[in-house]
């Protein structure tokens, strides 16, 4: 039998708003959801500026959805009409259409800037460590979904760079043995990038991926609030509970972090508005100049490159030449030897790694698989390796505050390698740039693959039992 319905009893002087809220709460746990997820959610009291980017990411997600809805009202997903619907209809004929379009295009870049900074905070403070592995995996899935969403949306303006960028990326799947050509054909919906490609990319960008993205964000937040937020000290505040049943070093998110987030939102909107009104193209990084030309399948742009937020991984792809594969093969041999000498893995695990390495070495021979395929493999691996961070970092402490000082230089070198790859991906390839990209690629992968060892080396500082907080 079901539970009897119980109506909330209100005092005699209850306002109409209180009565309405009570009526809703009796039928839907609105107040409970608010309190559990934010109002009475206790977060560590020592958050710093790095912790504002999660809220900013939510803001930009909402901004992108709202502006996207208005854009779809006037956009034509037709190869003959798409470019004009954006550059003529939306930009010139629709009142304030130019503002909506620039908010959406600038918002895409702002989204990735915020997400990269959010991931950097996780890297610095070990936010992916136990018990937050699942939070990190949900966040990584959000990152993948954002990359797919941005890629599908990039084709929609149907400009020169949109068309040829999609052509290059989709053709990469053709390098996969056996299924590559059929997979490329399935993604395009035609033998070339055409109206069929535009329609299916539009469907993915507007309907399918936003639904997946919203689901992943919800799972990310639920997992976060289940285990609790990390903090700059890497101390688990739930291990020190006060008499009131709440963490001693925790404070309610509302109003304390609501006000701080509002300040962060104000600063962000000031910068965001300045970009939208004064530099929406950002020198060709946010909106490439070639994309203001209609797509022409008969004229290839002199330099095809993806948007800046893809370029670090695109550089890895472009750096993978047949000559570079010999260097990669040598690096794999050294890594396997290193595992045998320094790893505490079981004998069976070491044998399995060795067998896999031998198979990879055979596959990298010029007579077996071409460099283009391995470029796609390294391109995908450079993204997927981020998901393995919780199991690669064996440091006895979480936060960089209590790690050896030289660990900071390791992170700096990694950041420089990532930024270098990002810059080189925007430039036309030259022998010098290719060589620098290859060195940066090795440094990028070395950061992760050697992390099980370097993360445990050095003298670690003692971690306090409670968070360090200095009010101001």
Annotated binding-site residue numbers: 104, 118, 205, 220, 225
Contact 104, 71 (CB under 8 A): yes
Contact 183, 173 (CB under 8 A): yes
Known binding residues for heme b: 104, 118, 205, 220
What number of residues does the chain have? 472
Known binding residues for a ubiquinone: 225
If 0-12 CB within 10 Å is exposed, 13-18 middle and 19+ buried, where does residue 168 land?
middle
Q: Residue 335's CB: how many other CB atoms inside 10 A?
A: 16
Gap between the terminal Cα atoms of the chain:
56
Q: Residue 96's CB: how many other CB atoms inside 10 A?
A: 10
Contact 57, 118 (CB under 8 A): yes
Cis bond before residue 255 (omega within 30° of 0):
yes
Alpha-carbon distances of 222 from 146, 237, 291, 411, 429, rounded to whole Å: 19, 18, 39, 30, 44
């Amino acid at each position: 039998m079901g539970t009897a319905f119980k109506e909330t009893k209100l005092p005699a002087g209850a306002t109409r708003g209180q009565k309405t809220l009570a009526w809703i709460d009796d039928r839907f746990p609105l107040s409970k959801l608010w309190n559990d997820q934010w109002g009475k959610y206790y977060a560590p009291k020592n958050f710093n500026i790095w912790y504002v980017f999660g809220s900013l990411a939510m803001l930009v997600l909402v901004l992108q959805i709202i502006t996207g809805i208005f854009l779809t009202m006037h956009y034509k997903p037709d190869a003959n009409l798409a470019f004009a619907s954006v550059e003529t209809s939306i930009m010139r004929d629709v009142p304030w259409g130019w503002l909506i379009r620039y908010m959406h295009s600038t918002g895409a870049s702002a989204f990735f800037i915020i997400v990269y900074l959010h991931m950097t905070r996780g890297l610095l403070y070990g936010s992916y460590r136990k018990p937050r592995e699942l939070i990190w995996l949900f966040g990584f899935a959000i990152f993948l979904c954002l990359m797919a969403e941005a890629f599908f949306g990039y084709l929609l303006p149907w400009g020169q760079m949109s068309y040829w960028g999609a052509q290059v990326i989709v053709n990469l799947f053709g390098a996969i043995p056996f299924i590559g050509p059929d997979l490329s054909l399935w993604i395009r919906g035609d033998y070339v990038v055409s109206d069929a490609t535009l329609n299916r990319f539009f469907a993915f960008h507007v309907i399918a991926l936003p639904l997946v993205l919203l689901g992943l964000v919800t799972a990310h937040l639920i997992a976060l609030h289940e285990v609790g937020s990390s903090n700059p000290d890497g101390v688990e505040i739930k291990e020190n509970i006060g008499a009131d049943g709440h963490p001693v070093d925790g404070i309610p998110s509302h109003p304390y972090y609501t006000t701080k987030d509002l300040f962060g939102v104000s600063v962000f909107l000031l910068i965001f508005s300045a970009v939208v009104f004064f530099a929406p193209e950002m020198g060709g990084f946010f909106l490439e100049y070639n994309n203001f030309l209609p797509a022409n399948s008969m004229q290839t742009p002199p330099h095809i490159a993806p948007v800046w937020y893809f370029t670090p991984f695109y550089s890895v792809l472009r750096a993978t030449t047949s000559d570079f594969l010999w260097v990669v093969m040598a690096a794999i041999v050294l890594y396997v030897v290193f595992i045998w000498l320094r790893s505490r893995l079981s004998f069976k695990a070491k044998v399995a790694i060795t067998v896999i390495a031998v198979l990879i070495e055979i596959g990298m021979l010029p007579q077996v698989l071409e460099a283009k395929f391995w470029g796609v493999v390294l391109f995908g691996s450079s993204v997927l390796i981020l998901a393995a961070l919780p199991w690669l970092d064996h440091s006895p402490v979480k936060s960089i505050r209590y790690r050896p000082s030289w660990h900071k230089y390791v992170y700096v070198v990694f950041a420089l390698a990532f930024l270098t790859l990002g810059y080189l991906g925007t430039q036309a390839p030259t022998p010098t740039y290719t060589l620098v990209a290859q060195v940066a690629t090795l440094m990028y992968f070395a950061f992760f693959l050697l992390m099980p060892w370097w993360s445990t080396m050095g003298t670690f500082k003692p971690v306090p039992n409670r968070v360090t907080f200095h009010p101001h």
